Amino acid sequence: MDVDSPATIEILCYDGFDELDVIGPFEVFTTAADHGCSIDVRLVTLASAERITASHGLTIEPDGQIGDDPDLLVVPGGGWNTRGEASAWALAQNETAIDAVRRRHAAGTTIAAVCTGGMILAIAGLLDGRPATTHASTHGQLPDHGAVPVHARVVDDTDLLTAGGVTAGIDLSLWIVEQLCGADVADKVATTIEHERSDDVHVTGRE
């Protein structure tokens, strides 16, 4: 990511996403911006939509459709094990959605997945031979799709980052803020939201 200009962060929203997978990172990133971190955060959808309904019934009004080349795309999970029509699992069966994630990664966008959003990346083939984590309930499925499972709260493999279940998205986002704007800003954000940061971060590919 280019830290000389505002980093564009887009959080992908779809019907059935887990609320905290989106709201946790959104609050971390917007609070980081309040503390001087040069980032621009948007809630986006694949297709134009006035409202999106999350897994527990929360509705949101997205900021617009996914951009062509955001610096960072956050992919949340939600409802994977229910196999519902509105869920991360359903999104993973949508070739148009999977292709959209693949194309942005190929164009240079860093992809970060929260919870079973990691399974979406695995289905897309992005995690082939690469370390990753996901929600505990689906962790054992990662090897079925070519990923190398790591038992960590956050896995940073440079251009692909994954986090464990739900609240782990907060630690993932704080880690990203630290990479963009330094540990001091990340610690200030954690203090502001009264979150005790986890140091359970598995890092590969960074000097």
pLDDT of residue 37: 98
Task: Report the alpha-carbon distance of residue 196 to residue 170 in Å, rounded.
Answer: 10
Residue type, 102: R
CA 23 remoteness from chain centre: 11
Please answer whether residues 150 and 143 qualify as being in contact, where contact means their C-beta atoms are separated by less than 8 angstroms: no
120 in a structural domain: yes
CATH number at residue 163: 3.40.50.880
199 in a structural domain: yes
pLDDT of residue 3: 45
110 in a structural domain: yes
Alpha-carbon radius of gyration of the chain: 15
82 in a structural domain: yes
Residue range(s) defining the domain that contains residue 120? 7-203
190-197: long-range pairs with CB below 8 Å, 24+: 192/31, 192/35, 193/27, 193/28, 193/31, 195/170, 197/171
Helix (H, G, I), strand (E, B) or coil at 16: coil
108 in a structural domain: yes
* DSSP state letter for 144: G
1 in a structural domain: no
Cα atoms found within 13 Å of the Cα of residue 125, Cβ hemisphere only: 7
Cα atoms found within 13 Å of the Cα of residue 78, Cβ hemisphere only: 25
2 in a structural domain: no
pLDDT of residue 92: 97
113 in a structural domain: yes
Q: What is the DSSP string of 38-59?
A: -EEEEEEESS--S-EE-TTS-E
| CA-wise closest residue to 76 among 136, 132, 125, 135 | 135
> What's the structural domain count of the chain?
1
Q: Which of 13, 37, 115, 181 is catalytic?
A: 115
Catalytic, 181? Answer: no
Question: pLDDT tens string for the chain (207 positions)?
Answer: 444 689 999 999 999 999 999 999 999 999 999 999 999 999 999 999 999 999 999 999 999 999 999 999 999 999 999 999 999 999 999 999 999 999 999 999 999 999 999 999 999 999 999 999 999 999 999 999 999 999 999 999 999 999 999 999 999 999 999 999 999 999 999 999 999 999 999 999 775
Cα atoms found within 13 Å of the Cα of residue 97, Cβ hemisphere only: 21
